[in-house]
Amino acid sequence: MDNDKLTPRQASDFLGIGTETLKKYAALLEHNGHFIGRNARQHRYYNGTDIGLLRAMISLNRDKSVTLEDAASIVTSADTDIKAILNETGATVTENVQSTEVSSVITLQVPEEFNKIFDLMQMQHAEINTLRLELELRDKEHSDFMQDIGTKLGEQNETIDLLREEVELLRKQAAEKPSSFWSRLFNK
């Protein structure tokens, strides 16, 4: 393997994450249009750019509470300055990491309105959570209402069954009563 390429194990050790986590993060970057190289066996290998993007993504997620999907989208945006994200979140930026032989991190441009976008995302996230809670409350109310209706319908069915039994009993009693002379005379 080239000196400027890391295996998944080396990259995960460098980033301080597990290889399965690295695989998940790399898939998010690829989903957002970033190409990560592969060897002849189709295993990913990571260069300095990949490591920089992964580090920025991890920093946004851990330090700024940005979801991984949003962090991957932000760091793969063409106008994002990875160094600025890493400096802002307190992560160290290394131009040349000799211990793992990774080449320097490619610098991208930072949007000036990153904080505005981030704040809007946070507000939308809070609004979504509020709506989710409201929906859960309404679902509970609906469920309780349907349960009450089911209980009332069951009670009404029981009442109808009792009345039906009483009517049948009265019919039987009426049929069993001997009729009087006058009723036999006028019923014919």
- Residue 85's pLDDT is 77
Q: How far apart are CA 63 and CA 88, in angstroms?
A: 9
- Residue 20's pLDDT is 94
CB atoms within 10 A of CB 129: 10
- Residue 89's pLDDT is 60
- Residue 152's pLDDT is 95
Q: Is-contact 56 66, C-beta < 8 A?
A: no
Q: Which CATH class is domain 8-112?
A: mainly alpha
Q: Is-contact 6 100, C-beta < 8 A?
A: yes
What are the sequence ranges of the domains in the chain?
8-112
CB atoms within 10 A of CB 101: 15
Query: Comparing C-alpha atoms, which of 126, 121, 129 is closest to residue 60?
Result: 121
With a CB cutoff of 8 Å and minimum separation 6, the contacts of 92 are: 86
- Residue 76's pLDDT is 87
pLDDT tens series, the chain, 188 aa: 455 788 999 999 888 999 999 999 999 999 999 999 998 899 999 988 899 899 999 989 888 888 999 989 888 887 777 777 777 665 554 433 333 333 333 333 344 456 667 678 888 888 998 999 999 999 999 999 999 999 999 999 999 999 999 999 988 877 776 666 776 677 65
Query: Comparing C-alpha atoms, which of 94, 104, 107, 87 is closest to residue 47?
Result: 104
Q: How far apart are CA 127 and CA 34, in angstroms?
A: 30
With a CB cutoff of 8 Å and minimum separation 6, the contacts of 187 are: 179
Q: Is-contact 3 47, C-beta < 8 A?
A: no
- Residue 83's pLDDT is 76
